[in-house]
Amino acid sequence: MKEEYTRFIDNTKIWVLSGVALAMIIIPTTIISTVNTPNAKTLEVLVFSILMIIIIILSKALQHASFEADDTQVTFSYFGKYTVISYDEIENLLTERRHNELRTKSGIQRCYVDTLKIITSDGDTYCFSAKMDIDYDKIAMNPAYLNEQFENSQFSRLKHYIEDNLDTNKKISRLKSYVEEHTK
């Protein structure tokens, strides 16, 4: 099972990333504007444009993520970072959904966020959040459609897939231990 999803980045991370991006733009353009050469303004515009393009590409890349699950492990990846979790390590799986609102000058932006929490036997907790694509017009016509969307979300399907493989792996390990006990 392999799927791509759009990571949800909370507001505090957005403000931090915006501050870093602003610093990346202001510092070089300020340095260039202090240089008294005929091409300084052209260079300033060029550097500003290049930095803006880089920031836009990075912001899109930070939101793009994927997961791949097979019979023994699940791998989450985003922005070159890979998190591999073996099914043998998983103690508990939880899915949560919440409604998120972001108030901006242009209005309120709403979205549902689907979160998968994986708790391992080491005590580590991994949280992965994704924006859900919800058709609000269909929900307005049939409110039960929202529950259907929640049950068929990417992380719900992944959770069921992992749970099915966990059950299969546990049955296989019990069978192996039974065979080992009775063949001695």
Q: In the predicted model, is pLDDT for residue 141 greater than 80?
A: yes
Render pLDDT for 153-178 as a digit per residue (tens, 0 to 9).
888 889 989 888 877 766 666 667 76
Q: In the predicted model, is pLDDT for residue 74 greater than 80?
A: yes
Q: Are strands 90-104 and 125-132 parallel, antiparallel or unpaired?
A: unpaired
Q: What pLDDT shows up at residue 84? A: 92
- Average pLDDT on 55-67 reads 76
Q: What pLDDT shows up at residue 174? A: 62
Least confident of 12-21, 23-32, 77-86: 12-21
Render pLDDT for 102-128 as a digit per residue (tens, 0 to 9).
777 777 777 888 899 999 888 899 999
- Average pLDDT on 54-79 reads 82
If we measure between CA atoms, which residue out of 76, 43, 71 comes closest to residue 167? Answer: 71
Q: What pLDDT shows up at residue 172? A: 65
**158: how many CB neighbours lie within 10 A of its CB?**
23
Cβ burial, residue 128 (10 Å; 0-12/13-18/19+): buried
Q: What is the CA radius of gyration of the chain?
A: 23
The reported pTM is: 0.67
If we measure between CA atoms, which residue out of 126, 5, 114 comes closest to residue 64? Answer: 5
- Report yes or no on 4 lying in a domain: no
Q: Structural domain tally of the chain?
A: 1
- Report yes or no on 146 lying in a domain: yes
Under the banding of pLDDT at 50, 70 and 90, the label for residue 33 is low
- Report yes or no on 162 lying in a domain: yes
- Report yes or no on 71 lying in a domain: no
Give residue for tokens 């949560």.
96
- Average pLDDT on 132-136 reads 80
Spell out the residues 6+ positions from residue 76 whose beta carbon is closer than 8 angstroms to its own: 65, 66, 67, 82, 83, 85, 126, 128
Cβ proximity of 36 and 50 under 8 Å = no
- Report yes or no on 66 lying in a domain: no
- Residues 57 and 6: their CA atoms lie apart, in Å, by 15
Q: What pLDDT shows up at residue 117? A: 93
Q: What pLDDT shows up at residue 149? A: 84
**75: how many CB neighbours lie within 10 A of its CB?**
14
Least confident of 46-60, 108-122, 138-152: 46-60
Tokens at 140, concatenated: 């307005």
- Report yes or no on 155 lying in a domain: yes
- Report yes or no on 54 lying in a domain: no
Cβ proximity of 113 and 8 under 8 Å = yes
Q: Give residue 154's domain range.
A: 93-183
Q: In the predicted model, is pLDDT for residue 15 greater than 70?
A: no
97-103, Cβ contacts within 8 angstroms, sequence gap of 24 or more: 97/132, 97/150, 97/153, 100/8, 102/11
